[in-house]
């Protein structure tokens, strides 16, 4: 039985090696090609599928792994092939098919030694589809939730560290979406709506890079509404937590001189003609 992995990109080659290698230890769609049914030994089928994946032909490899399960559904290789088929779909950028296969694997094999990898791979399927903050962030939320489930269920997993890093990035991305909407409301003079968005960033995404600007924008919005006490309090929080931030310098200038330096995004209240006393 052969599991020699080489010739792939460093990240995905390592991923394939982890999956197929782990499975070896465990064992000791419409445009895909249609396979003619020819009954073959399970080891022969599985090794052909692995070889095909190593050659980089993941579209062909996926149905080959499916064939292992189809011909030998009660063998130990069938379980292995389920995960490898999902991995091949992922490598082919067929994320929906991969997610469906991974959900099936997780449901059928909740105690499998590789179920943590199944969660990780599912999270990657969502993560790699994340789009810019100007678009819907459903995939970002799905990625975050899936990776959080991995970390919660398998805190000692070797995939948890990378999952935590990606969770931080998804949270920052979601906070960025809230900031974009909040800035839009601020430009339109819809201050209460803007405040709700900025407060959501501060309360729900407090570890992200978006918080200093959110506090500054809150200061601006409160000031525009004539709520000077709230504006001063928010600016003080910003100064206490981010004393060296350019956003604090903007808020300080706003509260002391009624001017906004606009060093951040150039959307200060002074530039919009919104500063009032």
Per residue in 164-182, is it b (16+ CB within 10 Å) or e — as a string?
eebbebbbbbbbbbbbebb
Q: Are residues 106 and 194 in the same domain?
A: no
Query: Which of 106, 129, 152 represents a domain boundary (last residue)?
Result: 129
User: Does 86 fall in a domain?
Assistant: yes
> How does pLDDT run across 174-220, given as a tens digit for each residue?
999 999 999 999 999 999 999 999 999 999 999 999 999 999 999 99
Nearest-angstrom CA–CA distance, 18 and 28: 16
Q: Are residues 124 and 194 in the same domain?
A: no
Q: What pLDDT sits at residue 16? A: 52
User: Does 219 fall in a domain?
Assistant: yes
Q: Are residues 29 and 110 in the same domain?
A: yes
User: Does 210 fall in a domain?
Assistant: yes
CATH of the domain at 34: 1.25.40.10
CB atoms within 10 A of CB 51: 15
Task: Tell me the whole-structure pTM to 2 decimals.
Answer: 0.74
Domain count, the chain: 2
User: Does 159 fall in a domain?
Assistant: no
What Rg value do the Cα atoms of the chain yield, rounded? Answer: 26
**In this structure, what token pair is assigned to residue 84?**
């490898």
> How does pLDDT run across 53-109, given as a tens digit for each residue?
999 999 999 999 998 888 888 788 889 999 999 999 999 999 999 999 999 999 999
Q: Are residues 116 and 18 in the same domain?
A: yes
Residue 116, C-beta contacts closer than 8 angstroms, at least 6 positions apart: 150, 153, 154, 157, 159, 160
User: Does 61 fall in a domain?
Assistant: yes
Above 90 in pLDDT, residue 239? yes
Q: Are residues 96 and 199 in the same domain?
A: no
Q: Are residues 20 and 96 in the same domain?
A: yes
CA distances to 19, 29, 215 from 204, in Å:
35, 39, 13
User: Does 121 fall in a domain?
Assistant: yes
**In this structure, what token pair is assigned to residue 148?**
């959080």
Q: Are residues 29 and 108 in the same domain?
A: yes
Query: Which of 81, 99, 129 represents a domain boundary (last residue)?
Result: 129
Residue 25: domain span: 10-129
User: Does 181 fall in a domain?
Assistant: no
Nearest-angstrom CA–CA distance, 55 and 228: 66
Above 90 in pLDDT, residue 160? yes
User: Does 248 fall in a domain?
Assistant: yes
Nearest-angstrom CA–CA distance, 90 and 68: 18
> How does pLDDT run across 100-156, given as a tens digit for each residue?
999 999 999 999 999 999 999 999 999 999 988 778 899 999 999 999 999 999 999
Query: Which of 105, 129, 153 represents a domain boundary (last residue)?
Result: 129
């Amino acid at each position: 039985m052969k599991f020699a992995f080489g010739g792939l990109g460093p990240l995905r080659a390592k991923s394939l090696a982890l999956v197929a290698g782990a499975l070896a230890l465990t064992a000791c769609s419409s445009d895909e090609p249609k396979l003619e049914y020819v009954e073959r030994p399970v080891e022969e089928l599985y090794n052909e599928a692995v070889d095909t994946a190593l050659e980089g032909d993941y579209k062909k490899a996926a149905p080959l792994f499916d064939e292992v399960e189809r011909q030998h559904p009660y063998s130990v290789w069938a379980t292995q092939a389920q995960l490898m088929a999902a991995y091949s779909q992922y490598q082919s950028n067929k994320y929906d098919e991969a997610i469906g296969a991974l959900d099936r694997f997780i449901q059928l094999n909740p105690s499998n030694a590789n179920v943590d990898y199944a969660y990780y791979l599912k999270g990657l399927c969502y993560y790699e589809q994340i789009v810019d903050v100007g678009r819907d962030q459903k995939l970002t939320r799905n990625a975050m939730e899936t990776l959080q489930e991995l970390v919660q269920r398998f805190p000692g997993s070797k995939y948890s560290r990378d999952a935590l890093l990606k969770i931080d990035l998804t949270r920052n991305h979601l906070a960025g979406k809230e900031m974009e909407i909040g800035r839009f409301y601020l430009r339109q003079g819809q201050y209460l709506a803007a405040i709700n968005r900025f407060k959501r960033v501060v309360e729900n995404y407090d570890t992200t890079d978006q918080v200093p600007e959110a506090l500054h924008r809150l200061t601006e919005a409160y000031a525009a509404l004539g709520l000077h006490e709230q504006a001063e309090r928010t600016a003080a929080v910003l100064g206490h937590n981010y004393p060296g931030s350019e956003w604090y310098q903007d808020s300080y200038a706003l509260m002391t001189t009624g001017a906004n330096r606009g060093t951040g995004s150039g959307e200060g209240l002074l530039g919009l003609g919104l500063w009032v006393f």
